[in-house]
Copies of this chain bind each other. A is one copy, B any other.
Amino acid sequence: MGVTTKDLARICGVSRATITRALYGTGSIKEETKRMILDTAKELGYQPDLMARSLVMGKSRMIGTVVVDLRNQYFPKMIDAIEKRTKESSYMLNISLHEDDKEEEKRLIRAMVGYHADGLILNCINKDADFEKMLGQLGIPYVILGYRVFKNSHTVGVDEYEATYKGVNFILEKGYKEIIFVVPPLYDEDGIPNIGHADRKRGFEDAAGKSGCRYTVMYGDDYLEQALDYMRTKAESRPAFFCSGDTFAGEMINCFSKNGYRLPDDYGLMGYDCVSFYQNFSPKLTTVDNHVEQMGYEAANMLIDMIEGRDVPQNIKIPVDIVEGQTL
């Protein structure tokens, strides 16, 4: 690859050890030779081979992150924040995408270890014991994003239960007497529960049940039809729909508006995720802000602490906030 210390040594007429001393100020060296070496290094455009360095140091100052994809704003926002934190400590961030493929996720994690990543930030879709064991054997620290998948892993996430609990109470305070919670399927194709949405649902049911209001939960891909049907045949008062994701909420606005239902006169709507997009659009969506940037930042922070040998809590919960828009 380009110029090496060996080349420099030959050209400057000194040993490789002296070159190192000049470049990194370790040990003592004559000011004159140092200057000479630095000058020629600069002139020849010497760039250290970070791989070779990592090989001998056992550290790479590289942090790996493996997430599903960048399709909606969730991970892009989070990664921007992770990036900010890693940059502060001059780590390089290596992002890769598993595209919802479990084997690919494992491959990527192994590759990251193979490239000597000092630590990993993961959005893992594998949830079985084998995978947990694999993580444990990695030999480097890792932080899981979102919610607690494994008891013994470090996690940064939001308290989904509390979040929906809060959300329901916010809706009730606005005077609504019936609430429909809209969630995607609670189980993946392979029957493993989607912990996040399941927690949200529990929070919803507990809060709604406790209040004595009328409530129901709506699952499935045809939720738009279900929701329309609800409006036409089941609603007793002006209902509020609480969508477990801003994207669903966006689709509902669209669909309902086409069917002549006006917001917030005919129904109320609350989202979840606070995807910036819907915040710039009118009507501005009332939603649960789960502070993805903060999550990313804290995850990176936690990981760096672990890499550098500092004590960290095992779990960090990011508190959520309700962002009031014009849809309730």
Contact = CB atoms under 8 A, between A and B. Distances in A.
A174 to B, nearest CB: 23
A interface, size bucket: 35 or more
A51 B116 contact: yes
A80 interface: yes
Interface string A137-176: 1010000000000000000000000000000000000000
Nearest to A116: B51
A111 B139 contact: no
A277 interface: yes
A108 B250 CA distance: 37
Given A95-B95, A110-B47, A250-B281, A1 B58 contact: yes
Interface stretch (A71-79, A200-208, A301-309, A317-325): A71-79
Given A92-B111, A254-B282, 12 more contacts: A2-B113, A47-B110, A50-B114, A51-B55, A55-B55, A69-B83, A70-B79, A71-B80, A83-B96, A93-B96, A94-B95, A258-B282
Interface of A: 1-2, 45, 47-52, 54-55, 58, 60, 62, 69-71, 73, 76-77, 79-80, 83-84, 87, 92-97, 99, 104, 108, 110-111, 113-116, 137, 139, 250-251, 254, 257-258, 277, 280-282
